[in-house]
């Protein structure tokens, strides 16, 4: 069962502005919401800090201080884009580290920053269906 605070690791079919993912690189995503009514999960992209010296000049990047476990490296959440996917049977096969959750304090910090950010800024919703997901992630 997928819950908020868990991570999914998969190849997103699309990125912001509807750009198709032509590199087919997997991305780590944090589950920030689970909507039972429309059977979706909302995610934000997680990225490692390594090699990105300017990543904290942007107000939409949130440092994850207590990252390990489950993350192997110092990382940040990119809260300016929200990925929404159908919560289909089989999606749990893409759970990262067997569904190990982020530290509760870190999750609360990310959500506080996210909720504050969306009050004053527009975020982009990137959504895809189960079929689009499975076409890209051949499992």
Report which of residues 95 and 57 the model is more confident about.
95
CA atoms within 13 A on the CB side of 84: 12
Only one residue has tokens 């605070």, namely: 5
For residue 9, the cross-strand partners are: 28
The whole-chain average pLDDT of the chain stands at: 93
Joined together, the tokens standing for residue 90 give: 């089989």
Three-class SS state of 124 = strand
Q: Tell me, yes or no, if the pTM score tops 0.95.
A: no
Q: How far apart are CA 109 and CA 86, in angstroms?
A: 25
CA angle 98, 103, 104 (to 5 degrees): 115
The structure tokens listed for 28 are 């780590």
Note the pLDDT tens digit of each residue in 29-58: 999 999 999 999 999 999 999 988 888 889
Q: pLDDT tens-digit profile of 124-137?
A: 999 999 999 999 99
């Amino acid at each position: 069962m997928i819950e908020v605070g868990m991570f999914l690791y998969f190849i997103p079919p699309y990125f912001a502005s509807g750009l198709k993912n032509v590199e087919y690189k997997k991305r780590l995503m944090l589950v920030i919401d689970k909507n039972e009514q429309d059977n979706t999960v909302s995610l934000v992209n997680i990225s490692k800090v390594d090699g990105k010296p300017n990543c904290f000049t942007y107000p939409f990047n949130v440092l994850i201080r207590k990252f390990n476990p489950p993350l192997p490296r110092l990382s940040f959440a990119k809260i300016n884009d929200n990925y929404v996917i159908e919560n289909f049977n089989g999606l749990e096969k893409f759970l990262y580290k067997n569904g190990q959750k982020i530290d509760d304090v870190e999750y609360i910090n990310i959500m506080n920053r996210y909720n504050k950010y969306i009050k004053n800024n527009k975020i982009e919703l990137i959504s895809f269906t189960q079929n689009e997901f499975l076409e890209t992630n051949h499992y």
